[in-house]
Chain A
Amino acid sequence: MPALSPTMEKGNLAKWLKKEGDSVKSGDIIAEIETDKATMEVEAVDEGTLGKILVPEGTNDVAVNTPIAMILAEGEDAASLKGNGGVATKPKAEQPARQEKAAASAPPAEREEPAKKAETPAPAKTGTAKPPLAEIMPEPEVPEGTELITMTMREALRDAMAEEMRRDSDVFVMGEEVAEYQGAYKVTQGLLEEFGAQRVIDTPITEHGFAGVGIGAALAGLKPIVEFMTFNFAMQAMDQLINSAAKTQYMSGGQVKLSVVFRGPNGAASRVAAQHSQDYSSWYSHIPGLKVIAPSNAADAKGLLKAAIRDPNPVMFLENEILYGHSSPVPKLDDYVLPIGRARIARPGNDVTIVAWSMGMTYALKAAEELAHDNIEAEVIDLRTLKPMDNETIVESVKKTGRLVTVEEGWKQSGVGAEIAARMMEEAFDYLDAPVARVAGKDVPMPYAANLEKLALPSVAEVVEAARAVCYR
């Protein structure tokens, strides 16, 4: 009984179209079977004579893989098989029939064991496989005396792209308004001038299409940087991002390499309301096959974008419109590349750990300052990479402080904070002196009105309050 669908477990033998003794060619329709979904035709896969019908017409609920007939090769005869005890020993008979479109020929005639199990070699080790621990590069040495240049995050991102484009001609930028307009938020300023229209490409407003084109170019070995004007519009491209970008390396058994960066502003800007203010941190970090980065300052932005462009995987690089204009020092080095997957302790402290990233860091750092006035020393961790997540740094900090607050603009349910809390439950439960507190965006679409928008977003006050609460102070 061939399996006609992945869920089929048994079928009814509705009708035999050939009788014993008939000669059959491969492709001949020999029987009809019924499933709960349809009536299907069964094709012979072998040539010979229909030696014996094992399942008579009208039999219901025949289990998948049960032999239904034997086809005899030339020189064989049904009688010689009779005393044989089991049909399974006869290679020809093992393959009685095949249904028209079934991918594989009918499985061997083992009565009890499903064919797949019988054929699959036992795994080398028992138990479930463990995901490999990502190998994380060390933080680069910044030699003493290295000059620090203060620049905006916008400039740092631009420099990162320009340096990588100089280094590797396979790197190019595409997106809406990235070239002639110099970027809707001016992040690609000057790139057209330096690299020309072949490598800095204005696209039509067709996110689903150009995300796919970028992935296709990456399939061919190029290293596209695809800018979304904002990540709100990347939702148009979601299918390509998840089904094509994230999964293709795995689906190809590792043959395909997809080195592609999707970048642009993420999260709330200011007063642009529900459809233009959303944090996708947790969305992308849910997806195996994607790396997700969300820097909070210029140096991290530069070092991590360079790393993302070089990374042989699809990387979602979440920037923030409000942070674009913030200035901070960046080491002046020829090649400042930061490790993906490593958090950074932005402010050391012993009393409470605050984990944040991107815009959340501005709340976290200000809150830490306020808390210090009341002698609460917060350790602020900038996650920087959301996937793969640097558990170790958080666990080490929690071991020291015993208390944890997470800060994000996104919604609480299924958020990154929820993930961190769960991880600490799993990995640092004995060290926690208070339940983990989450500061997050309120569970509403972003309102436009100024007062409501403020209420919807996390605030410094909420972080302070949460930190006090977990410190019981």
Chain B
Amino acid sequence: MAVAQTKQTAQDTQGLLPAADLAATDASIPEFSKEQELAALRQMLLIRRFEEKAGQMYGMGLIGGFCHLYIGQEAVVVGMKLAMRDGDQMITGYRDHGHMLACGMDPKGVMAELTGRRGGYSKGKGGSMHMFSLEKKFYGGHGIVGAQVPLGTGLAFANKYRGSDDVCLTYFGDGAANQGQVYESFNMAELWKLPVVYVIENNRYAMGTSVTRSSAQTDFSKRGVSFNIPGSQVDGMDVRAVNAAAREAIAWCRAGKGPIILEMLTYRYRGHSMSDPAKYRTKEEVDKVRTEHDPIEQVRKRLLDRKWASEDELKKIDASVRAVVNEAAEFATHDPEPDPSELYTDVYR
């Protein structure tokens, strides 16, 4: 039960996130190689730039409805993904763009879905919250808070049923963690020893409600205790810490030991969705996290400190990522809307 005993990360005075200095000096976080750092940087930058672009395009009226940005939380999905292997699945809620990009889905197809065009992953029918790629083992993209948790548990059930040792990573938020179906899932997952990693992205808020106002037990890693599901809290702003925890957790599941919970301490910089002014928290709070914990800055700093990359090289990486994102935006702007005949297709097969 190594993972279960993973020590709790110390938190800063506001109880927001792991203390910055502590995280930086914590020797127990395994170092990344240069290649890993660069890979993580590229992935996280892709998500950040993509989301910034999506925010802009929303402002221009090219994207409608709800649009939930992942900015600030990039280390979680990237650290997890770097520990996955082919065949492992992923499922999440509506804050899903980062997950799709991490899964290797084409930014053009994702952005075109955001603009509701025929080249989108769901042919324009799903929008921001509802996208899938069976090829990349990404199972959505779900708009109803908590609903993905039994679904992810079911994906894990199928793995076990088929005798494969693939693992399903099931992501949900701190707010979603209060839904009843989460606990119904926990019980079945442990009862049947299903290979599912429950990744709770605790970004401290569910819309305008902070975890302390919604949750009797705010240590989400303990939410599996009464089901005997081990769990640990992880610094979700440090991609290395996420990755280390992910490796252990995935190995646990792959070995047939049943489900496991990883609570990722993270933070969203933007409002809940584009229409949320986020007045329920102070600017200082946001600024503090951005300056002290930014997941991308942490990697950049390490790369520079270790002289694994120069400012120039990092700029080049950023430029190439921007080029990918711009291309996606361009495509998503000019791709035509779905043909009207598509209204009635895909309801049944």
Take A202-B213, A205-B214, A275-B144 as given contacts and tell me if A177 and B127 are in contact as well, using a CB distance cutoff of 8 Å. no
B129 touches A273 (CB 8 A): yes
Please, how many angstroms separate the alpha-carbon atoms of A455 and B337 in the complex? 13
B215 touches A452 (CB 8 A): no
CB distance from B129 to the nearest CB of A (A): 6
User: Which residues of the other chain, B, contact A89 by a CB distance below 8 angstroms?
Assistant: none
B176-220, CB under 8 A of A: which get 1 and which 0? 101111000000000000000000000000111100011100000
Q: Does A113 contact B (CB under 8 A)?
A: no
Which among B155-163, B261-269, B338-346 touches the partner chain?
A: B338-346
A452 touches B343 (CB 8 A): yes
Q: Does B2 contact A (CB under 8 A)?
A: no
Main SS class of interface, B: loop
Main SS class of interface, A: loop
A272 touches B280 (CB 8 A): no
Q: Does A8 contact B (CB under 8 A)?
A: no
Q: Contact residue range for chain A?
A: 35 or more
Which among A122-130, A258-266, A428-436, A442-450 touches the partner chain?
A: A442-450
User: Which residues of the other chain, B, contact A274 by a CB distance below 8 angstroms?
Assistant: 125-126, 130, 143
User: Which residues of the other chain, A, contact B65 by a CB distance below 8 angstroms?
Assistant: 269-273, 276, 448
Q: Among residues 31 to 67 in chain A, which have CB atoms less than 8 Å away from a CB atom of chain B?
A: none
CB distance from B253 to the nearest CB of A (A): 26
| Other-chain contact of A180, B64, B126, B181, B280 (Cβ < 8 Å) | B280
Q: Among residues 122 to 144 in chain B, which have CB atoms less than 8 Å away from a CB atom of chain A?
A: 122, 124-130, 142-144
Please, how many angstroms separate the alpha-carbon atoms of A447 and B176 in the complex? 25
Please, how many angstroms separate the alpha-carbon atoms of A180 and B206 in the complex? 13
User: Which residues of the other chain, B, contact A399 by a CB distance below 8 angstroms?
Assistant: none
B125 touches A449 (CB 8 A): yes
User: Which residues of the other chain, A, contact B130 by a CB distance below 8 angstroms?
Assistant: 273-275, 448
Q: Does A92 contact B (CB under 8 A)?
A: no
A177 touches B207 (CB 8 A): yes
CB distance from B184 to the nearest CB of A (A): 10
Take A181-B280, A451-B340 as given contacts and tell me if A443 and B117 are in contact as well, using a CB distance cutoff of 8 Å. no
B337 touches A451 (CB 8 A): yes
Please, how many angstroms separate the alpha-carbon atoms of A202 and B207 in the complex? 12
Q: Does A232 contact B (CB under 8 A)?
A: yes
CB distance from A278 to the nearest CB of B (A): 11
Q: Does A208 contact B (CB under 8 A)?
A: yes
Q: Does A209 contact B (CB under 8 A)?
A: yes
CB distance from B259 to the nearest CB of A (A): 21
Which residue on A lies nearest to B214, using beta carbons? A204
Please, how many angstroms separate the alpha-carbon atoms of A338 and B140 in the complex? 45
Q: Does A236 contact B (CB under 8 A)?
A: yes
Q: Does B146 contact A (CB under 8 A)?
A: yes
A209 touches B180 (CB 8 A): yes
Q: Does B32 contact A (CB under 8 A)?
A: no
B338 touches A451 (CB 8 A): yes
B344 touches A449 (CB 8 A): no
A450 touches B64 (CB 8 A): yes
Take A270-B65, A273-B127, A273-B143 as given contacts and tell me if A205 and B337 are in contact as well, using a CB distance cutoff of 8 Å. no
CB distance from A411 to the nearest CB of B (A): 11
User: Which residues of the other chain, B, contact A452 by a CB distance below 8 angstroms?
Assistant: 116, 124-125, 337-338, 340, 342-343
Q: Among residues 223 to 245 in chain A, which have CB atoms less than 8 Å away from a CB atom of chain B?
A: 232-233, 235-236
Q: Does A413 contact B (CB under 8 A)?
A: no
Please, how many angstroms separate the alpha-carbon atoms of A270 and B116 in the complex? 13
User: Which residues of the other chain, B, contact A445 by a CB distance below 8 angstroms?
Assistant: 125, 347
Q: Does B107 contact A (CB under 8 A)?
A: no
Please, how many angstroms separate the alpha-carbon atoms of A202 and B211 in the complex? 12
User: Which residues of the other chain, A, contact B146 by a CB distance below 8 angstroms?
Assistant: 205, 236
Pair count A-B, CB < 8 A: 128
User: Which residues of the other chain, B, contact A455 by a CB distance below 8 angstroms?
Assistant: 340, 343
Residue of A181, A276, A444, A449 with most chain B CB atoms under a 10 A cut-off: A449
Take A233-B145, A276-B143 as given contacts and tell me if A205 and B206 are in contact as well, using a CB distance cutoff of 8 Å. yes
CB distance from A207 to the nearest CB of B (A): 8
User: Which residues of the other chain, A, contact B127 by a CB distance below 8 angstroms?
Assistant: 271-273, 448-449
Which residue on A lies nearest to B182, using beta carbons? A206
Please, how many angstroms separate the alpha-carbon atoms of A450 and B118 in the complex? 11
Q: Does A155 contact B (CB under 8 A)?
A: no
A180 touches B180 (CB 8 A): no
B125 touches A184 (CB 8 A): no
Please, how many angstroms separate the alpha-carbon atoms of A236 and B147 in the complex? 9
B308-334, CB under 8 A of A: which get 1 and which 0? 000000000000000000000000000
User: Which residues of the other chain, A, contact B181 by a CB distance below 8 angstroms?
Assistant: 236
Q: Does A73 contact B (CB under 8 A)?
A: no
CB distance from A455 to the nearest CB of B (A): 5
A206 touches B179 (CB 8 A): yes
B144 touches A206 (CB 8 A): no
Q: Does A379 contact B (CB under 8 A)?
A: no
User: Which residues of the other chain, B, contact A456 by a CB distance below 8 angstroms?
Assistant: 343
User: Which residues of the other chain, A, contact B208 by a CB distance below 8 angstroms?
Assistant: 177, 180-181
User: Which residues of the other chain, A, contact B66 by a CB distance below 8 angstroms?
Assistant: 272, 276
Please, how many angstroms separate the alpha-carbon atoms of A206 and B342 in the complex? 35
| Other-chain contact of B209, A202, A271, A451 (Cβ < 8 Å) | A202
Please, how many angstroms separate the alpha-carbon atoms of A139 and B107 in the complex? 58
CB distance from A87 to the nearest CB of B (A): 52
Which residue on B lies nearest to A181, using beta carbons? B208
User: Which residues of the other chain, A, contact B206 by a CB distance below 8 angstroms?
Assistant: 204-205
User: Which residues of the other chain, A, contact B215 by a CB distance below 8 angstroms?
Assistant: 204
Take A270-B64, A276-B143 as given contacts and tell me if A449 and B207 are in contact as well, using a CB distance cutoff of 8 Å. no
CB distance from A197 to the nearest CB of B (A): 10
| Other-chain contact of A232, B142, B144, B337 (Cβ < 8 Å) | B144
A273 touches B126 (CB 8 A): yes
| Other-chain contact of A236, B113, B144, B213, B338 (Cβ < 8 Å) | B144
B11-26, CB under 8 A of A: which get 1 and which 0? 0000000000000000
| Other-chain contact of B116, A206, A233, A444, A450 (Cβ < 8 Å) | A450
User: Which residues of the other chain, A, contact B179 by a CB distance below 8 angstroms?
Assistant: 205-208, 236
User: Which residues of the other chain, A, contact B342 by a CB distance below 8 angstroms?
Assistant: 447, 452
Which residue on B lies nearest to A209, using beta carbons? B180
Which residue on A lies nearest to B146, using beta carbons? A205
Q: Does A300 contact B (CB under 8 A)?
A: no
Please, how many angstroms separate the alpha-carbon atoms of A275 and B127 in the complex? 11
User: Which residues of the other chain, B, contact A275 by a CB distance below 8 angstroms?
Assistant: 129-130, 142-144
Please, how many angstroms separate the alpha-carbon atoms of A184 and B145 in the complex? 15
Q: Does A176 contact B (CB under 8 A)?
A: yes
User: Which residues of the other chain, B, contact A232 by a CB distance below 8 angstroms?
Assistant: 143-144
| Other-chain contact of A449, B124, B180, B209 (Cβ < 8 Å) | B124
Please, how many angstroms separate the alpha-carbon atoms of A447 and B129 in the complex? 12
Take A447-B343, A455-B340, A456-B343 as given contacts and tell me if A205 and B145 are in contact as well, using a CB distance cutoff of 8 Å. yes
- 6 closest pairs, A vs B, by CB? A448-B127, A271-B64, A271-B65, A449-B124, A275-B143, A449-B116
Ordered by A's residue number, 16 sampled pairs between the chains whose C-beta atoms are within 8 Å are A180-B209, A204-B175, A204-B214, A204-B215, A205-B175, A205-B176, A205-B214, A209-B180, A235-B144, A273-B143, A443-B347, A445-B125, A447-B124, A448-B64, A448-B113, A450-B64
| Given A273-B143, A448-B116, A449-B125; 20 other pairs, CB 8 A cutoff | A180-B213, A181-B207, A202-B214, A205-B179, A205-B214, A206-B178, A209-B180, A236-B146, A269-B65, A271-B116, A272-B127, A273-B65, A273-B125, A275-B142, A276-B129, A443-B347, A444-B343, A447-B125, A452-B125, A455-B340
